[in-house]
Structure 1
Amino acid sequence: MLSARHLLVASLSLLATAAHAQAQFAWVGTYNPNGEGLYRFTVDPTTGDLHDKTLVSSLPNAAQLTVSRDGKTLYAASEAEKGVVQAWRIAADGSLTELNQVSSGGAGPVYLSLTPNGRHLLVANYISGTIAVLPVKDDGSLSEASDTHQDQGPAGAGKPEAAAKGSFAISDHNGPHAHMIAADPEGKYVFSTDLGLDRIYQYQLDDATGKLTPNTPPFIAASSKGAGPRHFVFTPKGDGLWLINEEASTLTHYSLDKTTGTLTEGKTVSSLPKGYQGTNFAAGLVLSQDGKQLYVANRLHNSIAHFTVSADGELIHQDDIWTRGDYPRTLTLDSKGQWLYVMNQRSDNITRFKVAPHSGKLTFEPGYIAIGSPSQMVISPKQ
């Protein structure tokens, strides 16, 4: 017969196991030397706080991340001259087991995304201006690229014509620089941005072979000369996307023809407050799950621009919120849309904001999470 003490120990062990199984983890990629690699945090479901900071990998400049929909596999790109992508299996307690590492298909990988069915990992390589498709095996590990494409063409304008007065947001219009790649919500088409060439590329995806076929036309020009197209988010219905232009600090809407897989440019608005003058580099953006709240990170202005999306798809500027940090690189919304996290690269911290239901209004939650040069955060779904 078990003693009372043994029963107590067994009960506590079961409770600890259950707590681990129910825990939700946030993964943060960083830049060296301030950041030492990839970090894991436990997310408090009530307060949104990030705690139990743990360095789980010293992969250099592990700055770009994505996680599988089932929360069991994590991928990180080492943003190095010779780019690599690492795959890990995530255990219920948040521990990682290395699966494998493959080439990113170019130099300086700056973006990773999985196709909707999780069968392919898409990579944008900034330094080389290439994109790649990496097939995902049944165990979550990666195969070598099934397809790569090299962006080619004349460099974009050296000065962004749509930027704010007095802006010196001039960078890397010296050749191809792929900045993001993602498939549409149905997984039929793939789009990639090239900041250096001021282009948005359009592809058809063959899911069986992992091959990309240039669409007709193969690319469209950015909304203005020297704009520097960066990141984009699809609407919930998959009938369009919002794209942020880094150097122009503008936000452009594109409608998506689901039959042809081609984009049509719509309206463009500034990501900055009316009357702002000077330099700014627009960065990450996130859209709420219902498609009604859009948030944009402005670097140097150090703000989050909050827009609501009207029923007819128009953007309505609501507010500009100080990030409480310096050089916000990316934004992350939790799965329930209750908390928004800001990766403040130059001030070496993460700040978080409470998201009001319905209005989407942001309120700073006092407290800072110290971490060197944060680049991106993803939150893994509960297993």
Structure 2
Amino acid sequence: MLSARHLLVASFSLLATAASAQTQFAWVGTYNPNGEGLYRFTVDPGTGDLRDKTLVSQLPNAAQLTVSHDGKTLYAASEVEKGVVQAWRIAPNGELTALNQVSSGGAGPVYLSLTPGGRHLLVANYVSGTIAVLPVKEDGSLGEASDTRQDSGPAGAGKPEAAVEGSFAISDHNGPHAHMIAADPQGKFVFSTDLGLDRIYQYRLDEATGRLTPNDPPFIAASSKGAGPRHFVFTPKGDGLWLINEEASTLTHYRLDVAKGTLTEGKTVSSLPKEYKGTSFAAGLALSPDGKQLYVANRLHNSIAHFTVSADGQLVRQDDVWTRGDYPRTLTLDSKGGWLYAMNQRSDNITRFRVAPHTGKLTFEPGYTAVGSPSQMVISPTP
């Protein structure tokens, strides 16, 4: 028969094990030299605070990340001339074990995403203007590319026609520059943006082989000349997406034909407040889990534009919130939509905002997380 002391020790051991199992980890990719590689944090569920900062990899310019749907595997792209993607197994205590490293299928990989079924990792390579499909093996490691595609065509307009007065947001309209790639929620179609060519490419995905087939049409033009299409998020129903245009600082809605896998352009709005004049580069965007709140990062203006999505899909501007940092590259919402984080690249910090449950209103939570040149943060899902 166990004594009271033994029962107490056993109870504490079970509680410690349960607490460890529920620990949520945030992974932050950075740019050298200010950032030294890939960092791990623990996330305080009550305050959203990022704690226990640990450098877990010195992979050069490990700026682009994604985590598997079960939270057991982490992938990071090294944004260098001969791009590579590294895969790690995540232990329950957050320790990483390297699985393997493969070519990204091009130069300067700037975006990673997993297909809904988790069988393929999609890569956009900015410098070379190529996209690639990497098979995901049973253990989470990666195979060599099952398909690569090279964007080609005339460069987009040198000056964004839809930018605000006084804007000099002009960059890289000198050839192909793939900026993002992702599959639709069904996993049947793949879309990629090319900032340099002002195009959104449309593909059909063969889930069995990991091969891409150009759709009809194979691409559509950006919403305006020189707009510089960058990142996008799908609606929860998967019947459309919101796309941010970097150079024009505009946000465009596209309807998605879920049977054909083709996009139709809808309404475009500015990501900047109407009184703003001058240069700004729109960057990351995040959609709340219920699809009712949309947040956009504006670099140079250093703000987060907050929109609510009405029942008919229209955007209603609610607020423009100062990030408390410089050059917000990406935004990250936690899985419950209660906290939003801004990666402030030039001020070398991460700031966080409490998200009001019903209105989506952002409130800055005093305190900063020091990280050199943060690019992206992903949060591992909890069991």
Question: In the alignment, what sits opposite 1:103?
Answer: 103
Aligned to 1:63: 63
What is the letter of the counterpart of residue 268 of structure 1? T
TM-score (normalizing by structure 1):
0.98
Deviations 1:186-223 (A, max 9, x none): 00000000000000000000000000000000000000
Give the Å deviation of 1:9: 6.2
Aligned residue in 2 for 1:24: 24
Compute the displacement of 1:37 (Å). Answer: 0.4
Other-structure match for 1:251:
251
Q: Give the C-alpha shift of residue 130 in structure 1.
A: 0.1
- Counterpart residue number, 2:224: 224
CA offsets 1:304-333 (integer angstroms, 9 cap, x no match): 000001111111011000000000000000
Which deviations, in whole Å up to 9, do the C-alpha atoms of 1:63-87 show, x marking residues without a partner?
0000011100100000000100000
| Partner residue in 1 for 2:186 | 186
Letter matched to residue 68 of structure 1: S
Post-superposition Cα deviations, 1:143-185, rounded to whole Å, max 9, x if no partner, equal 0000000000000000000001000100000000000000000
Q: How does 1:66-85 map to 2 (within 5 A)?
A: 66-85=66-85
Q: Which residue of 2 aligns with 1:197?
A: 197
Moved more, 7-16 or 308-317: 7-16
| Displacement after TM superposition at 1:17 (Å) | 3.0
d(CA) in 2 for partners of 1:145 and 1:310?
A: 40
1:12-42 CA distance string (max 9 Å, x none): 5544333221100000000001000000000
Opposite residue 80 of structure 2, the aligned amino acid is A
SS at match of 1:141: coil
Partner residue in 2 for 1:372: 372
The one-letter amino acid paired with 1:29 is: G
- Count of residue correspondences: 383
Identity %: 88
Rounded Cα–Cα distance in structure 2 between residues aligned with 1:52 and 1:4: 34
Q: Structure 2: which 5+ runs fail to align?
A: none
Is the partner of 1:17 in helix, strand or coil? Answer: helix
Unaligned runs of 5+ in 1: none
Q: Report what 1:133 is aligned to.
A: 133
Match of 1:333 in 2: 333
For residue 363 of structure 2, what is the amino acid of its counterpart? T
Alignment of 1:128-167 (within 5 A): 128-167=128-167
C-alpha displacement of 1:5: 7.8
Q: Root-mean-square deviation (CA), in Å?
A: 1.3
What one-letter code is carried by the residue in structure 2 that aligns with 1:45? P
In structure 2, what residue type is equivalent to 1:241? L
CA distance in structure 1 between the aligned counterparts of 2:319 and 2:249, rounded to whole angstroms: 16
Counterpart mapping for 1:165-314 below 5 A: 165-314=165-314
Q: Distance in 2 between matches of 1:66 and 1:222?
A: 26
For the structure 1 residues 7 and 339, does the alpha-carbon distance in structure 2 shift closer, same or farther, using more than 3 Å as the test?
same
TM-superposed deviation, 1:290: 1.1
- After TM superposition, the score normalised by the length of structure 2 is 0.98
SS of the equivalent of 1:28 reads strand
SS of the equivalent of 2:174 reads: coil
SS at match of 1:332: strand
For 1:61 and 1:23, how far apart are their aligned partners in 2? Answer: 27
CA shift, 1:127, in A, is: 0.2
Structure 1 residue 345 displacement after superposition: 0.3
- Distance (whole Å) between structure 1 residues aligned to residue 86 and residue 194 of structure 2: 24
Q: Give the distance between the partners of 1:44 and 1:275, measured in 2 at CA.
A: 38
Distance of aligned partners of 1:329 and 1:213 in 2 relative to their CA distance in 1, 3 Å threshold? same
Amino acid in structure 1 at the alignment position of 2:164: A
- One-letter amino acid matched to 1:356: A
**SS in structure 2 of the partner of residue 248 of structure 1:** coil
Residues in 2 aligned to 1:355 and 1:12: alpha-carbon distance in whole angstroms = 34
Counterpart-to-counterpart distance in 2, 1:346 and 1:9: 49
